[in-house]
Structure 1
Amino acid sequence: MGDMLETVQVWDSPNTPVEEGKEDVLLRELSKLPIVELWRIQWGLSQSALLQDFPPIPPRWLRSADACSTAKTMMRCYQEDRAPAVLAAVQTLISGNHQVRPVRFTMIPLRPESDLKPVQGFVKTQRRKLISRIQRPGPILEALQCCRIFNTSEREAIAIYGACKDRNRALVDLLLRKGEEAQKVFYHALGQSEPFLLQELEEDHIRGKNASDSVVIMEMLEFLVTDELKCFQWLVNKYMTAESHSPIGGEQLEHADRRTTWRLLEKLFGSNRAERVAMEILMKIVPMLCLYFQAEAVTSLTYSDIRLETNTPQVEITPEVSEDGSIFRLRCQQPGVFRCSLTGLVLEGFGDVVYEMVPWDVDFLSSKGLQVAGALFRFHLLTGSFQRLHLPHCQLLSDGGRHFLSVAHVTGDCVDFITPGQVTDSHVTVDISGFSCFGLVTPAPSDQIAGLVLIFSQPTNSTLFILLLPRNVCLTQVRKEWKRRIGAEYIEAIPDCELIPNHTYKLIGEPVTVIQPETSKFVNFRDYNNFLPSFQVQLKAGATQVRLQLRSHVAGSRLIGWLFGNKECEVWARVIQLKGNSHYM
């Protein structure tokens, strides 16, 4: 343990007594703040992303706290010499003035005689909370690599994810596979990176194992992160439908907590049957739970001898979609080539597979000299066997594309960049022997790509939003996101066009009141998550249709423009019918 990490400054427990009157200055400053500003300060104190130079305070410690309680918590966490500086740093960063630097949080090699004593089974029992609450995985990963627990490949398999929750999930599940020694190092590193989080988790009551299997499975539900629980509930509902049981119903399960979910299962299946159903599903969507059940997990596909003819026709299937639109399920009953009508994925083989899209970490890819070229898909195999995967791309290929596109295959302990076996005009094909995460990357964007012009309307104020995106985005995800943001409705129109990355385009409309901005650079050619608009169009009152035209815009010098005119050419044009939107009238 001698190579582990320890903070230069010991961060004291909130239960450490502080001499009375020491927090008076801090309390006076906090008492001056309006309640909304106090809430913002409390939020800032709990956000590692806002202040990265000292450990965040768990939100629960500041929940419903007034100025006095907040001052006491800050004094006990950061002590009298640092608490005022921390407050000043939070106020400065929230206000947007970054001139004041926060307190530094420095780490040096740890001595073996550390006072931190790991709780047995800590990582396993606290899996859900660790995944959802760790805010500073970077120092923890540094410690694990420094102690030779993780190698470079394993660290990359964590760093490739863009969302903190996905990185934490990969980190915690890899630790569970690594065993007790790795978890001890993690425990110490967490105690130094986020000491208050560690204390909060230690204070939580951890229920011990019970001989009853139902209690064990109830504990497993407690360990599921929210998105895993939603997937479990959705699959359970589908399972009951397939078994001719009356489904629980989306409304009942949508807001059900873990205990209620289990009670509904027991009511419908009976205790023994409910346990078998729950274990069957849990082991497939969260393979690491096999460490708890001491069973064999379904972590990937097994290679099959079934081979399909190269000219086997594709069968398009509309997948089942979860209520929130984030999870897809494709059921392929017989061996064949199946295309998902919503995502464009093509699978060769047979079986039942669940998949979702997760964000990339673009900084990690940049460090490898790569860029995003498609969504990152995470798969869970429920039954069956698949041998080949086709990922949709948006490149306009001149030489087969083999030198430009590769497939990132992310497993629990490494990231492999695979040269595709075949590249067609629409898909990149790879042979697979295991299912985890797959996504397309490229060393540089093509000179020109297949793109989409997508139109969303906000009828309440006669506004259109125009999105320029790569062809291989999932339209279902784009529609869901814009519906969530502002309730915008998608307007059907043929969207296909060819776009040049980082090129400037101009939108023309008639009749319209205003289009802003006048020109827009196409920078969303790697956007598979945010789906930001390029233009906003304000329509004239009573308009029933509008003609939109996207033109390639090349800004030359004023003299050349005066002599020869600006260089513009039409890229896309459509007449958009608005008759169905009564708000425009």
Structure 2
Amino acid sequence: MSNINEPQYYILHETVENFTLCEREKIPSCLSHSCPSLSQEPPADISNFPRSPSLPTMKLQGSFKEFTPDFTDDEGDGIYWFRCSSPGLYQCRESGLVFDMRGEGDVSYRIVPWDRRLLSQHGKKPAGPLFDISCQQQSVAQLHLPHCEIRSTGGCHFLSVAHMHDEGIDFIRPVKITETHVVINITGFSPFGNIKDEDSPPDLVQALVLLFHKHLDPESDHLINVLMLPKNIVLEKVLRFRKKLDENEVFLETPPHCKLQPKQLYTLSTCPGEELVLVQPTEGEFDPESYDNYFPTFQVVYKEMRSRIKLFLRDSSSSSVWERWVCFSTARVRRSYGPTRQNLSPKELLEEIRSSFIDRISESVLKKLQDKMLEKKVLNDSEREDVEAGRTKRDKARVLVDTVRNKGDAASSEMIRSLCVLDPYLSGDLKLM
């Protein structure tokens, strides 16, 4: 007879017609609770859920160590990975995931599609990307999944985590929910992702408005594709998705942050107005579950190339929720009509973009690129010091690109690949991707 105070754990097994509820052997509290426990009324503050006593107290966000993951896209699989050498909290710059490592380990992860039918059968819906995570050493103690809820509205109360596996689906009760992440204890691996109750209130969420400029012939229409997406999407995946749809499309780096209401209709307007610019459709709905497909909500069409245009996103009450000046570089657009670089070697490609790279790379990206070249052993410590000895950002960029390209195609290819990950906007503008 089990103690009445001990929690029971269940796993749901999918059958042809429905799901059967089977009792599971008692396991540590880092694994899932049953569906019935999640359907109970949420507490006033979900962040107060009890944590596993076997794990240390949560570390402060300031102790996160950021890393840029390695990335491979063999056969379009898109796998991120990093090697951890010591315990600590490690945050991925690309995905926002945080790994609480109890020791060294090799962690790999990729974004996989949700089974929305399976979620819907349990009254759940996606609230973030679904990450398929693996660590052979089993050294990940906690996983922090980024969310886009606004905590003050109460939306966090309806968050939990789905753990998908061959036997079905587990629902994991969070250890803690911070302003930015849902924290869970884990011992096993496979896909994890944030979910919400389907009947949760449609509260405002953190969102992004992303702009992509379509390169067309100067005599034809010009296009801006406007995407409205939840904030916790993985931007790099969006950029790769759009690039595969149209390699001539350029991401316009404009401050994207705003707050949007799920399933609410929004309108987009411009300055100059409709007599010079067409916006289609006239209104569009914000879908907070856009984690697999990244298609535009609006398209802005105009005839004459212009230096800038202002966009206004308004809600049903005509209140502006996002407005930005979008500035264009006519030189950049003209440059995209030039010959392709498919026949250039990596070294020749660095030589061709050398001046633009020196002029346009930002200080922060330059520093990250140096770190990556040192990590990849493209640079040694002495060469890194030579780069840092430059008096200005341009001097440092000049030494870096010349040092790498003089090492040949392999080193040049590594630098190009790293630059595409660290600054996809500049890389797209330089036609590196």
Do they superpose with TM above 0.5? yes
What residue in structure 1 maps to residue 84 of structure 2? 332
How far is 1:427 from its partner? 0.6
Could you list the per-position Cα deviations for residues 99-156 of structure 1 after superposition, in whole angstroms to 9, with x for gaps in the alignment?
A: xxxxxxxxxxxxxxxxxxxxxxxxxxxxxxxxxxxxxxxxx963xx89xxxx7469xx
What residue in structure 1 maps to residue 142 of structure 2? 388
How far is 1:403 from its partner? 2.7
In structure 1, distance between residues paired with 2:298 and 2:242: 14
In structure 2, distance between residues paired with 1:520 and 1:541: 25
How far is 1:437 from its partner? 1.4
TM-score, normalised by the number of residues in structure 2: 0.59
In structure 1, distance between residues paired with 2:21 and 2:94: 33
| Contact 2:77/2:110, CA 8 A, preserved across alignment | no
What residue in structure 2 maps to residue 516 of structure 1? 280
In structure 2, distance between residues paired with 1:536 and 1:307: 50
Identify which of 85, 92, 96 aligns with 1:344.
96
> Going by fraction, where is strand more abundant, 1 or 2?
2
What residue in structure 1 maps to residue 113 of structure 2? 359
Identify which of 126, 147, 170 aligns with 1:416.
170
How far is 1:546 from its partner? 1.2
Matched to 2:98, the amino acid is V
In structure 1, distance between residues paired with 2:181 and 2:252: 26
| Contact 1:479/1:489, CA 8 A, preserved across alignment | no
Matched to 2:100, the amino acid is E
Deviates more, 1:326-335 or 1:338-347: 326-335
In structure 2, distance between residues paired with 1:389 and 1:491: 32
How far is 1:516 from its partner? 0.4
How far is 1:366 from its partner? 1.5
| Contact 1:400/1:424, CA 8 A, preserved across alignment | no
- Paired residues in the alignment total 278
Identify which of 211, 234, 248 aligns with 1:474.
234
Confirm whether residue 310 of structure 1 aligns to residue 59 of structure 2. yes
What residue in structure 1 maps to residue 262 of structure 2? 501
| Contact 2:222/2:305, CA 8 A, preserved across alignment | no
Q: Secondary structure at the match of 1:409?
A: strand
What residue in structure 2 maps to residue 425 of structure 1? 179
How far is 1:315 from its partner? 1.1
Is the alpha carbon distance of 1:399 and 1:514 closer, same or farther for their aligned partners in structure 2, counting shifts above 3 Å? closer
| Contact 2:208/2:229, CA 8 A, preserved across alignment | yes
> Going by fraction, where is helix more abundant, 1 or 2?
1
Could you list the per-position Cα deviations for residues 288-328 of structure 1 after superposition, in whole angstroms to 9, with x for gaps in the alignment?
A: xxxxxxxxxxxxxxx99784762361111111111347111
How far is 1:397 from its partner? 1.6
Residue segments in structure 1 that go unaligned for 5+ positions in a row: 1-139, 155-302, 555-566
Is the alpha carbon distance of 1:424 and 1:573 closer, same or farther for their aligned partners in structure 2, counting shifts above 3 Å? same
Is the alpha carbon distance of 1:431 and 1:400 closer, same or farther for their aligned partners in structure 2, counting shifts above 3 Å? farther
What residue in structure 1 maps to residue 333 of structure 2? 582
What residue in structure 2 maps to residue 570 of structure 1? 320
Q: Secondary structure at the match of 1:348?
A: strand
Is the alpha carbon distance of 1:394 and 1:309 closer, same or farther for their aligned partners in structure 2, counting shifts above 3 Å? closer
Which runs of structure 1 show a deviation greater than 2 angstroms over 4 or more consecutive aligned residues? 151-154, 303-312, 398-403, 510-513, 580-585
- Same amino acid, percent of matched pairs: 34
In structure 1, distance between residues paired with 2:120 and 2:254: 35
| Contact 2:127/2:289, CA 8 A, preserved across alignment | yes
What residue in structure 1 maps to residue 71 of structure 2? 321
Could you list the per-position Cα deviations for residues 487-514 of structure 1 after superposition, in whole angstroms to 9, with x for gaps in the alignment?
A: 2221101100000011111111123521
What residue in structure 1 maps to residue 373 of structure 2? none
In structure 2, distance between residues paired with 1:386 and 1:570: 43
Q: Secondary structure at the match of 1:403?
A: helix
How far is 1:549 from its partner? 1.1
1:191-206 pair list within 5 angstroms? none
In structure 1, distance between residues paired with 2:306 and 2:229: 26
Is the alpha carbon distance of 1:309 and 1:521 closer, same or farther for their aligned partners in structure 2, counting shifts above 3 Å? closer
From the CA coordinates, give the structure whose radius of gyration is larger: 1
Residue segments in structure 2 that go unaligned for 5+ positions in a row: 1-13, 23-51, 338-433
How far is 1:376 from its partner? 0.9
Could you list the per-position Cα deviations for residues 407-431 of structure 1 after superposition, in whole angstroms to 9, with x for gaps in the alignment?
A: 0112332311111111111110011
What residue in structure 2 maps to residue 370 of structure 1? 124
Is the alpha carbon distance of 1:304 and 1:423 closer, same or farther for their aligned partners in structure 2, counting shifts above 3 Å? closer
RMSD value over aligned CA atoms? 2.7
In structure 2, distance between residues paired with 1:449 and 1:305: 34
Is the alpha carbon distance of 1:364 and 1:305 closer, same or farther for their aligned partners in structure 2, counting shifts above 3 Å? closer
Q: Secondary structure at the match of 2:288?
A: helix
In structure 1, distance between residues paired with 2:207 and 2:304: 31
TM-score, normalised by the number of residues in structure 1: 0.45
In structure 2, distance between residues paired with 1:321 and 1:445: 37
In structure 1, distance between residues paired with 2:177 and 2:55: 22
